[in-house]
Amino acid sequence: MLEYISAPEAAKKWGISERRVQKLCEENRIPGVAKFSRMWLIPKDAEKPSDKRQKSRNIK
């Protein structure tokens, strides 16, 4: 049986914001995630997805 953690727990574990974890869940970037009412359930052994957001470069 899979064990789950909440979005705040995953945020703390991965060092990112709770909102970012929720966004990753909404975008189906975390395998095995489930939504129960208003709460995201993330498998305890899930890996942090890579960050595909573009980084801005400082052009001077």
Q: How far apart are CA 58 and CA 36, in angstroms?
A: 42
pLDDT of residue 1: 66
pLDDT of residue 15: 95
- Average pLDDT, integer, range 23-48: 94
Q: How far apart are CA 25 and CA 41, in angstroms?
A: 9
Other Cβ atoms closer than 10 A to 33: 19
pLDDT of residue 50: 84
- Average pLDDT, integer, range 12-38: 95
Tokens of 9: 């727990």
Residue 32 pLDDT > 80? yes
Q: Average model confidence (pLDDT) for the chain? A: 89
Torsion angles phi and psi, residue 4, rounded to 5: -120, 155
Q: Is there a contact between 42 and 25 (Cβ–Cβ < 8 Å)? A: yes
